[in-house]
């Protein structure tokens, strides 16, 4: 399986990682190498096998659906590159 | 009378004037130091100063991203107060290093990534909090592969970590393994008495093997993941890295336990692992999986493995040949599951809430520029692979398929543990290699974890014990695996191996 430049551009967009046009070829080669290597899983017979979706055999813990934390606006905003007046600042999204 | 010495260099003089070599305090095990602190043979502050001085001397290893000397001295003084009041915790006054993947309140936490520039958590991870509650003294934050993605500690934004070991007759700097490379290097060089690591596919066990120390990945769910920067949530697990098996048992007990803030943390009592150590292996059946002897396995490792079997046999265990038929599918399975989870976990680094921001024309442009600048090449690669295998049209062929193969790998272990109580294998296929080697070929690098990844996928506990040296004098490790929640058997087997191996630990720097 070999990825073309258009596919890499699409993956980069989905990943929200800018990849320069000049680098598309190199990245395509690296990703294709890894995908070719993982292709070997196709040989494994998984008929009627249920997927393993987590790392534990224990039942996940439940808790009452109530608010048990909060009122930490200052702490939540403390590390924001542009946090002010109780908001996260971002570039303009609505013209 | 002059005030008590507080700087590293004056601590050096102070200890030297008593006639004790400065390395004395850094040579101790956690178990010994605990006893001597209780007997007031030295203070927690003196113990901390000796380690801070060693950290200064060994700065060249680049094991630390952040050193927290002043905080350590403050906490050591508090430990001394508690010790004199007879209120010490199980790790009271013990100097530890914390992998820089654990969020620490008020202390820079980077995950070795540019994208977390300046991130200073306002909260403490559950595991590091438990270690604090037990009285331990954090000396600093340890270097690692960026977001714990790597097997050589060469992907850190803060530069590679060096292994304190060198091959005989070759002045080449070696990798410490990864991703917990700073943890392994600092423990081996006696800069800290123990360190936290995290293991997603071998990140505790492989660096432990490369640096000649003990590393334990407990059962998935034994330690809370809360406050640990997430890589692959169904695989990530914290564990101790120490110079002895006993120290690992002591440290794990302090780290483990149920945490309501992590829904996958187990609501099970934490056993006294230390109490299991002396129980030996008499009557235990030890599985030797034939699939762990690939053609490429070096003769030295194969011989060491055979020796390990003999040691356990001599101690009364019975070796049993077993088969784990899906072993060769484990690595490719891991390289679908782990990047898939990583692509989702790392979506939070967007330049909005913490860390780096690179301005862009629009919100989307800002995200893409921030993430391109903030993530290193290996992290970008894994996010993109993960995004691809989860994308429409490929989900079933890659991700769902991998989850099914993961179930088969898990079943292999379940079947094996019907016949045996523990499994013995090499930890890594080679000893430590030079910094710069294997860095151009991702798959060659991934192969480092060929023996550690299967247990990660199955969620079972595993440990690496230093068991011998290669012909050119580099550490080699043996890996022990047991059933879920049976770390006690794990520690029993490890203790017998440690006793038999008489591994030559590095002297203190």
SS (H, E, C) B328-397: HHHHHHHHHHHHHHHHHHHHHCCCCCCCCCCCCCCHHHHHHHHHHHHCCHHHHHHHHHHHHHHCCCCHHH
Structural domains for chain B: 9-276 (3.90.1300.10)
Instruction: Report the residue from B235, B361, B367 with minimal CB separation from A16.
Output: B367
Cβ atoms of residues B416 and B410 within 8 Å = no
- pLDDT of B337-356, one tens digit each? 999 999 999 999 999 999 99
Instruction: Report the residue from B369, B388, B408 with minimal CB separation from A18.
Output: B369
**CA-based nearest distance A89→chain B, Å:** 7
In a domain, A79, yes or no: no
**CA-based nearest distance B411→chain A, Å:** 10
Q: Which residues of chain B make contact with A81, given a CB cutoff of 8 A?
A: 351-352, 354-357
Q: What is the pLDDT of residue A93?
A: 85
Q: Which of B120, B235, B377, B384 best probes binding to A when mutated, by most A CB atoms within 10 angstroms?
A: B384
Instruction: Report the residue from A35, A51, A90 with minimal CB separation from B404.
Output: A51
As a whole number of Å, the end-to-end CA separation of chain B is 31
Split into its structural domains, chain A has a count of 1
Give the active site residue among B128, B180, B203, B456: B203
Flag if B405 and A38 touch (Cβ within 8 Å).
no
Flag if B264 and A56 touch (Cβ within 8 Å).
yes
| Model confidence at B21: pLDDT above 60 | no
Cβ atoms of residues B420 and B287 within 8 Å = yes
Q: What is the pLDDT of residue B298?
A: 84
Beta bridge partners of B97: B140, B195
In a domain, A68, yes or no: no
Q: Of B11, B111, B102, give the one whose Cα is nearest residue B57.
A: B11
In a domain, A55, yes or no: no
Flag if A19 and B372 touch (Cβ within 8 Å).
yes
In a domain, A54, yes or no: no
Flag if B260 and A61 touch (Cβ within 8 Å).
yes
In a domain, A24, yes or no: yes
- pLDDT of B382-412, one tens digit each? 999 999 999 999 999 999 999 999 999 999 9
Q: Which of A14, A37, A81 best probes binding to B when mutated, by most B CB atoms within 10 angstroms?
A: A81
**CA-based nearest distance A66→chain B, Å:** 14
The answer to whether B99 is a known catalytic residue is: yes
Question: Closest-CA residue in chain A for B364?
Answer: A16
Please, which pLDDT band fits residue B481 given cuts at 50, 70 and 90?
Answer: very high
**In angstroms, rounded to a whole number, what is the distance separating the alpha carbons of residues B241 and B209?**
11
Please, which pLDDT band fits residue B23 given cuts at 50, 70 and 90?
Answer: low
| Model confidence at A36: pLDDT above 80 | yes
In a domain, A69, yes or no: no
Give the active site residue among B128, B156, B179, B180: B179
In a domain, A21, yes or no: yes
Please, which pLDDT band fits residue B277 given cuts at 50, 70 and 90?
Answer: very high
In the block, tokens 């320069």 appear at A20
Please, which pLDDT band fits residue B315 given cuts at 50, 70 and 90?
Answer: very high
- pLDDT of A57-79, one tens digit each? 888 878 899 999 999 999 999 99
Instruction: Report the residue from A17, A91, A93 with minimal CB separation from B383.
Output: A17
Q: Of B64, B267, B50, give the one whose Cα is nearest residue A63.
A: B267
Give the active site residue among B99, B130, B217, B438: B99
Domain containing A14 equals: 5-43
In a domain, A61, yes or no: no
Q: Which residues of chain A make contact with B351, given a CB cutoff of 8 A?
A: 81
The distance of Cα B441 from the centroid of its chain, to the nearest Å, equals 24
Please, which pLDDT band fits residue B12 given cuts at 50, 70 and 90?
Answer: very low
Q: Which residues of chain A make contact with B333, given a CB cutoff of 8 A?
A: 41
The answer to whether B179 is a known catalytic residue is: yes
Catalogue the E-assigned strands of B243-358: 285-289, 318-322
């Amino acid at each position: 399986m070999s990825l073309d430049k258009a596919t890499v551009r699409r993956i980069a967009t989905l990943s929200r990682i800018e990849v320069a046009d000049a680098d598309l070829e190199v990245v395509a080669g690296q990703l294709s190498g890894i995908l070719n290597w993982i292709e070997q899983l196709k040989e494994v017979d998984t008929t009627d096998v249920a997927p393993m979706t987590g790392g534990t055999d224990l039942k996940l813990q439940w808790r009452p659906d109530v608010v048990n934390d909060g009122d930490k606006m200052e702490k939540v905003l403390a590390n924001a590159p542009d946090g002010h007046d109780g908001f996260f600042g971002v570039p303009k999204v609505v013209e | 009378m002059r005030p008590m010495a507080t700087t590293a260099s004056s601590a050096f003089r102070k200890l030297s004037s008593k006639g004790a070599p400065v390395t004395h305090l850094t040579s101790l095990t956690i178990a010994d130091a605990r006893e001597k602190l209780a007997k007031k043979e030295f203070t927690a502050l003196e113990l901390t100063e000796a380690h801070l001085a060693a950290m200064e001397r060994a700065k060249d290893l680049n094991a630390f991203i952040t050193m927290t000397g002043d905080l350590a001295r403050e906490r050591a003084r508090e430990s001394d107060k508690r010790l004199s009041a007879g209120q010490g915790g199980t790790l009271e006054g013990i100097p530890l290093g914390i992998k820089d993947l654990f969020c620490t309140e008020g202390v820079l936490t980077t995950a070795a990534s540019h994208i977390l520039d300046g991130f200073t958590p306002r909260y403490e991870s559950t595991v590091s909090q438990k270690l604090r509650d037990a009285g331990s003294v954090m000396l600093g934050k340890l270097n690692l592969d960026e977001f714990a993605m790597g097997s050589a500690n060469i992907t850190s934004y803060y530069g590679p970590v060096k292994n304190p070991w060198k091959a005989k007759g070759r002045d080449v700097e070696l990798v410490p393994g990864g991703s917990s490379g700073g943890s392994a290097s600092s423990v081996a060089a006696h800069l800290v008495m123990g360190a936290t690591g995290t293991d997603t596919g071998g990140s505790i066990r492989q660096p432990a093997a490369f640096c000649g120390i003990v590393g334990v990945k407990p059962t998935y769910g034994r330690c809370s993941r809360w406050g640990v920067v997430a890589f692959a949530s169904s695989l990530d697990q914290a564990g101790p890295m120490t110079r002895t098996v006993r120290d690992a048992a002591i440290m794990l007990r302090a780290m483990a336990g149920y945490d309501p803030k992590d829904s996958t943390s187990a609501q099970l009592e934490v056993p006294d692992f230390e109490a299991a150590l002396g129980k030996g292996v008499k009557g235990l059946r030890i599985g030797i999986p034939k699939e762990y002897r690939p053609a490429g396995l070096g003769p030295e490792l194969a011989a060491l493995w055979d020796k390990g079997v003999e040691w356990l046999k001599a101690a009364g265990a019975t070796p049993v040949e077993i088969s784990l038929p899906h072993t060769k599918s484990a690595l490719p399975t891991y390289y679908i599951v782990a990047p898939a989870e990583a692509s989702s976990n790392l979506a939070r680094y967007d330049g909005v809430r913490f860390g780096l921001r690179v301005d862009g024309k629009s919100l989307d442009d800002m995200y893409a520029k921030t993430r391109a600048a903030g993530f290193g090449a290996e992290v970008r690669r894994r996010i993109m692979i993960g995004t691809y295998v989860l994308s429409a049209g490929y989900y079933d062929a890659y991700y769902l398929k991998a989850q099914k193969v993961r179930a088969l790998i898990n079943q292999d272990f379940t079947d094996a543990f019907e016949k045996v109580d523990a499994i013995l294998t090499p930890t890594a296929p080679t000893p430590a290699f030079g910094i710069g080697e294997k860095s151009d070929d991702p798959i060659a690098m991934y192969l480092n974890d060929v023996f550690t990844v299967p247990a990660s996928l199955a969620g079972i506990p595993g440990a690496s014990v230093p068991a011998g040296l290669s012909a050119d004098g580099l550490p080699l490790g043996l890996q022990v695996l047991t059933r879920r929640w049976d770390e006690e058997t794990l520690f029993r087997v490890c203790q017998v191996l440690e006793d038999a191996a008489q591994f030559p630990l590095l002297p203190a720097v």
